[in-house]
Amino acid sequence: MAIKKKMLGILGFVGAGALALSLAGCSSNGDDAGAGSDGDLTTVGFVAVGPEGAWRQANETNIQDTFTEAAGFDLKYAPATNLDQKSQIDAFTSFVDEGVDVILLSATEGSGWEDSLSRAQEAEIPVILIDRGIEPDDTSLYVTRIAPDNFEVSKESAEWAVSEFPDGANYVTLEGPAGVSVVNERNKGWDSVMDSESQFVQVDAQTANWSAEEGKSVMETMLKANNNDIQLVFAQNDEMGLGAAQAVEEAGLVPGEDVKIITIDGTKAAMEALADGQLSYVHEYNPLFGPTALEVVQKVLDGDTVESYIIVPSEAFDSAEAAQAVLADRQY
């Protein structure tokens, strides 16, 4: 299967408008988009993360709503058990043994996938990574990865912080779980800016496991340990940032004024908090890429070449007005 490398920082192989036209063409002719010549459904095994917050729910629901029988697909959804990688590997192995047509993989952990991917390759089952990458990133073991660009999203967030604090600030980072590729990528993007900004001091960095509750408790500890001398929070997802905002308020500080909070994902709850002034900057990490995944699957099964990384465009919001402008149509 032919694969071409893709430079990061540009949009995926198809723009939103072209994708919409393509999908409209598929649906207008009355044929099953994913069906083979004999009319059978194309079987897709989805090794998923499962319950992990609003972003993940939106992403996986969008995948399920896209790969329907009406579109010509039989989607087999296999969420992880309590985010356990072994349960994902077991599901992946079952899909290979079953002989599905293609596997979508959204990994709970970045490492430990070489054997599974090699087995799928031997069975000539293409694997498409959804959202999360693998480490080491051996592109010979999978067809493509579909996701927003974590490095660029975090880099843009850090650039906003520098513009907002020309004299620098003490800041903390609330990270996702260790070992997840997006956590490493978001750290790298942020650090690519902050490493050269000596006026910024990172006084602490801890995981809060994507959780609002843990984000609140970790932030409480950070504030106490630093006598409330924190002006900036970089939360790697919305939930942790929303929890941090609660901790800031309970510490007698004003979120958005005394402490500015940056979050990533752009869920409706975060946009509402931005509109209310509780958050200061929200960078969307667009979860609605089911249609892109569908088109990629069709191309792969047709033997067409696709890029090795297809980037899903995402926006940034830095004001209450910007948040209010999109809230009415927010789908997640």
Domains of the chain, by residue range, sit at 3-147+288-301, 150-285+319-327
Just give the CATH number of 3-147+288-301. Answer: 3.40.50.2300
Say which residue, 1 or 35, is predicted with more confidence. Answer: 35
Residues with Cβ within 8 Å of 263's Cβ and at least 6 positions away in sequence, in order, are 235, 236, 237, 238, 240, 241, 242, 270, 279, 281, 282, 283
Task: Please give the average per-residue pLDDT across 248-277, as a whole number.
Answer: 97
Name the pLDDT band for 29 (thresholds 50, 70, 90): very low
More confident residue, 105 or 31: 105
With 80 as the cut, is the pLDDT of residue 5 above it?
Answer: no
pLDDT tens digits, residue range 178-206?
989 999 999 999 999 999 999 999 999 99
Both structure tokens of 296: 């990629």
Task: Count CB neighbours of 291 within 10 A.
Answer: 19
Q: Strand 281-284 to strand 316-317: parallel, antiparallel, or no bridges (unpaired)? A: antiparallel
Q: Locate tokens 């006598």: which residue?
A: 227
Per-residue pLDDT, 39:
59
Q: Examine domains 3-147+288-301 and 150-285+319-327 and report if their fold is the same.
A: yes
pLDDT score of 251 more than 70? yes
Asked if the model's pLDDT at residue 306 lies above 60, the reply is yes
Residue 38 clears pLDDT 50, i.e. is over it? no
Strands 42-48 and 102-105: parallel
Q: What is the mean pLDDT of residues 294-304?
A: 96
User: CA–CA distance from 78 to each of 12, 106, 168, 313 (Å)?
Assistant: 27, 10, 46, 27
Residue with tokens 């009355």: 30
Residue 311 · residue 8 · CB < 8 Å: yes
What's the chain's average pLDDT?
89
CB 139 within 8 Å of CB 5: yes
**Is 70 exceeded by the pLDDT of residue 11?**
no
Shortest CA distance to 250 belongs to which of 276, 284, 215?
215
Looking at per-residue pLDDT, the higher value among 7 and 320 belongs to 320
Domain 150-285+319-327 is of which CATH architecture?
3-Layer(aba) Sandwich (3.40)
Categorise residue 30: left if φ over 0, alpha if ψ from -120 to 50, beta otherwise. Answer: left
> Average pLDDT for residues 269-283, to the nearest whole number?
97
